[in-house]
Structures are given as C-alpha cells and as structure tokens.
Amino acid sequence: MTISEIQRGESSEIEFKRELSKNKDSLLKTVVAFSNGGGGTIIIGIDDKTHKVVGVDEIEAFKMMDAIANSISDGIEPLVSPDISLQTVDGKTVIRVRIFAGSHTPYYLKSVGKESGTFVRIAATSRQADIIAKKELELLGLRHSYDSLESRSFMNDEQSFNAATTKKLCDDIMRFMKLKNGSNIPVNEQTLKTLGVLKEKDGKLVPTNAYAILMHPDRYEYLWSSIRCACFKGTDKVIFLDRLDCEGTLYGQIEQALKFVLRNLHTGMKIEGAIGKDVYELPPQALREAIVNAVAHRNYMLDESVKIAVFDDRVEISSPGLLPPGISLQSALNGESRLRNPVIAKVFHLMGFMEEWGSGLRRIAKECDEYNVKRPILVETEIASIMTFSRNVVENVVVNENDSQNVLQGQENVVETENNVVVNVVESLSIKEKSVFDIIKRDSSYTAKEMADVLKMSSRQIQRILASLKEKNFIKHEGPDKGGHWEIIGE
C-alpha cells in the first residue's frame, strides 16, 4: 500500500486501525463484513482518522499476527482463512490482513450467533445485516438465488401462469434472439426449464420467481419489481415535470424507461460532412446498458422499484440493494461479475440485453468516452446502488469545425459555440417549452392532447406553449387542424 492510496482513506474494501485493540469484536466485525461481501484489507498501524502511518512494534509484530489469526479462527463461523503479512510503508512496519470473499455465507460472530452477529460492508463501515441481507447471504451459501425459487403464488394462478403466458415468453425470447443474431432456434417449455425459468415439481413444471418477475412485474405480489421514472425541475425532487410507471413485461419496461429518459434529454446537432444529425446529450446505448444492469442485478427481495430520475444536471438510475454478495465496488468497475439473479441474467443474455458477462460497466465507460461525455459515477448507499450520469449539453456534441459554417447558413434556430458545438436556441426556452419542443422533434404527429398526457399538463397549458413556440418562430403547423403535423422551422 502506498502513501497516495492511504490518503484516499477507508472504503468498502479498506479499513485502517491504529493498533490491535483489546476489544476483538471490533476487528472481527470487519472480517465478517468483508467475508460476506467482496473481500477487503485491514491495515494495522495506520491512524484511521489522520491517515498517518504510525506502524507497529517490529518485535511484537509476529505475536500480533498469531493473535489475529487465532481470534479470527476462534471467533467467526464458518471458518475464515485470512492472508496476514507484514508490509513496510513510509519506513514503518504495518500488518496487512487480507480477507477474501467467502463462499459459505453468511459469516457471523460465534459469540452472539447468526441472528445478531452477521455484518455487511456499507461504504467504509461494517453494519449489522438486516433480515433481507441475511436471507440473501443464506441463499448464496446454499448456491441458490431468489429468482430460481419456485413462485408459490403463481403455481395455482391460472390467469398469470398458463400456456398462453408461457408461449408469449418463448415467442418473445425467440423474437429478440432473431433481432440479435438472426437465430431461428426454437424456444419452448424445456428451454425455460433449462434456463431455470420453470422447474419440475411432482412431475409437472411450475413457475419460478424469475417467471413471475419477467412476465408480471406489475402484479401485486411483485409490484416492486417494476421500473418507475420521473423528471424533475431543477436539481431536487420537488417539482415533477414528467413521470411514468412502466407496465407490462420486465424486458418491455426497459425499453419504456429508456424512451422516457431520452424524451426528457435535450438534443443537439452533430455535423457530419454537410449533414446535420440530431444527437442526445448522453449516449443512449450507455443509458440502456445502465438500465439493464439496474434491473438484472438488483435485489428482488426488497420492496423497492428500480427508480430513474432525470434532473437538470444529472440522470440517476437507482438499483435496489447493495452490489451482489461476493463482489466489491472496485472489482465490479474492473469488469468482474457476480450474478445475483442468474436466471433473469441468462434470459437477458439470450435476448441480447446483456452481451459478454461482466462487460456492462466497461461498455458504459467506452460509450461515454466515444460520446465525449463524463463517465457515470457508481456509488452504494444503505439501500441501493446508484449510477449517476452528469448532464452538460453544451460540451457533449462535437462537430467537424471545417464544415460547420456551411451547414449553419440559412438555419434560424441554431448557433455555434466556442467549443464547435451546434446547439438549438431552445436552450434559452423555459423547461416546459423545451419539453414540448423535444416531443415535436421526436414525433411531429403528436397532438396537443397527446402532449398533455405525456407531460402531465393541461391541454390549455400545451396550447399556450405551442402558441409561444410559433410566435418565437421555432415551429409551424402544416395541414388541417386534425390530421396535420408540426414542423421545426429551419430544418
């Protein structure tokens, strides 16, 4: 460990201790939390408040190492095998205790038992695991997952689980497979059994939680499995501009959610040769990948929905639950994958929603790099993993400097910035005017009533906004009042 790494402070994978405390539980709680998560390292000999390297007594160091090994062996169940070594940092000796992600979860303190002695790592702290976290750790230790368990509420529900709904799932998987790579491989009940979507019980096939979540995420028992979207004015959750509770199949909701985000983003114009092309301020493929990740890797035992919030300065995609047990934030960013919901993940993989395992975060970063925008930030809170994309439309769109002047001639509603970015003057409009303008750019056939339904405004408000946009010479209406369409002036 280097001085620069130490100065970054503690994290979900690093903990500092000035000395080996007589209170063994302090150390053991951290060991348990690391074992139940993605592993981590404890450094003894570094002040956790000042980050100063104080070191340990070299003569006593080996005795301390033996004491640590014995405490871990005697105080934790199941057995944890740490890697304990000495390291020189800034000329001083420290003890490094490396804990690996455990495969026999949950790990807990013997002195208090599994109920009260199970801990998990949240940011830079070790917290007592709640009932949901313990349940997930127990399933992981048994090599099970929540989505692979049979859905008792669906087993005898002929309305939700029947030949028609099963055929629809099979047909949808085949349709997506054909779109992905032209595959015509048939998908049937036996395929679903192989995937784990169906399982055999008493000589017949029964649905698993994966089946219920994929097909009926908006049904009462699985209502939290759906996606909820909202667009807010400003940078906090005070004033709603738009909202959507996605409906239908889980994979259908992903597409609904992406369309919601895109319709609430601004667009610029990218110049390619002599042709102007509308582009979103954030890469759609990266947003789609982030939504898929949030849905595929969330904790479905939590009664929280995947939430997508669009603010003036950012887009937040919140996935209920911490990262899956056995994986750390850093290892996830490095491309390591641990499937919390392997059945749903396998279905998504066949459909083309997920490509190579563990490549999702890398692809998001690559898309953002190519789009010339900041990479999103991934953080964990006590209840969710949140990916945040920063919005900055003026810096997002790069054009060909040599061609931009020719394209600008004769266009009334575009300007060229110092960064060679062509941006519609709509940036000077009000948020509501921008929202209406963006809808028209995406679909010129929208009626005032349809716009009112989408934006959750009154028809009278929409009529006033349309009149304002026409007066400012941004739009015009062509054709009869009924059956006509809108046109963007200057395009």
Q: Is the pLDDT of residue 109 over 90?
A: yes
**Higher-scoring residue by pLDDT: 402, 21:** 21
User: pLDDT at residue 396 above 50?
Assistant: no
**Predicted pLDDT of residue 272:** 56
List of E strands, 304-416: 306-310, 314-320, 377-380, 384-390, 414-416
In this structure, which amino acid lies at residue 103?
S
How many Cβ atoms are within 10 Å of 288's Cβ, its own excluded?
Answer: 19
Q: How confident is the model at residue 285 (pLDDT cuts 50, 70, 90)?
A: very high
Dump pLDDT digits (tens) for 161-175: 999 999 999 999 999
pLDDT level of residue 417 (50, 70, 90 thresholds): very low
Give me the pLDDT at residue 31, please: 97
CA-closest candidate to residue 84, choices 94, 75, 73, 97: 97
Any idea what DSSP says for residue 226?
Answer: S
Q: What is the pLDDT of residue 71?
A: 96
Q: With CA atoms as reference, report the closest residue to 109 among 71, 75, 72.
A: 75
Q: Has residue 11 got a pLDDT over 90?
A: no
Confidence class for position 269, pLDDT limits 50, 70, 90: low
pLDDT of residue 156: 77
Which one of 76-85, 388-397, 407-416 scores highest in mean pLDDT?
Answer: 76-85
Bigger pLDDT: 307 vs 159: 307
Query: What are the residue ranges of helices labelled H in 394-445?
Result: 401-408, 431-442
The amino acid occupying position 232 is F
pLDDT for residue 411 is more than 90: no
Asked if residue 358 lies in contact with residue 381, where contact means CB atoms within 8 angstroms, the answer is: no
Can you give the pTM of this predicted structure? 0.70
Mean pLDDT, the chain, integer: 84
Rounded to an integer, the average pLDDT of 74-84 is 96
Task: Kindly report which listed range (94-103, 219-228, 438-447, 462-471) carries the lowest average pLDDT score.
Answer: 438-447
Dihedral (Cα; 355, 195, 133, 292), 10-degree rounding: 30
Confidence (pLDDT) at 183: 83
Residue with tokens 């929208």: 446
Task: Answer for the pair 250, 216: CB distance below 8 angstroms, yes or no.
Answer: no
Rounded CA-CA distance 373/192 in Å is 40
Please give the average per-residue pLDDT across 370-383, as a whole number: 87
Torsion angle, alpha carbons of 362, 364, 367, 368, to 10:
-110
Short-list 93, 21, 10, 26, CA closest to 54: 93
Distance, CA of 289 to CA of 356 (rounded, Å): 12
- Express each pLDDT in 36-54 by its tens digit: 988 999 999 999 889 999 9
Q: What average pLDDT does the segment 194-218 reach?
A: 92
Residue 450 pLDDT level (bands cut at 50, 70, 90): confident
Q: What is the mean pLDDT of residues 479-490?
A: 78
**In one letter, which amino acid is 3?**
I
In the predicted structure, residue 423 carries a pLDDT above the cut 50:
no
Query: Which CA distances in Å does 263 have to 160, 258, 404, 436?
Result: 32, 9, 26, 10
Q: Does residue 337 register a pLDDT over 80?
A: no
**pLDDT value, residue 472:** 79
Q: How many residues does the chain have?
A: 491
Report residue 453's pLDDT band, with 50, 70 and 90 as the boundaries. Answer: confident
Q: Are strands 14-17 and 40-44 parallel, antiparallel or unpaired?
A: parallel
Answer for the pair 9, 57: CB distance below 8 angstroms, yes or no.
no
pLDDT at 402 over 50: no
The amino acid that residue 39 corresponds to is G
CB-based contact 89:53 (threshold 8 Å): yes
- Residue pair 295/306 in contact (Cβ under 8 Å)? The answer is yes
Question: Strand, coil or helix: what is 112?
Answer: coil
Q: pLDDT category, 424, cuts 50, 70, 90?
A: very low
Please indicate whether residue 268 or residue 196 has the higher confidence score (pLDDT).
196
pLDDT given for residue 342 in this prediction: 93
477 beta partners: 486
Report d(CA 405, CA 408) in Å as an integer.
5
Question: What does the pLDDT read at residue 420?
Answer: 36
pLDDT(406) > 50? no
Sign of CA dihedral 27, 380, 337, 208: positive
Evaluate whether 96 touches 86 at the Cβ level (below 8 Å).
Answer: yes
Residue 133 has pLDDT above 50, yes or no: yes
Q: Does the pLDDT of residue 301 top 70, yes or no?
A: yes
Q: Measuring CA to CA, how many Å separate 185 from each of 168, 175, 178, 273, 357?
A: 16, 10, 9, 42, 22
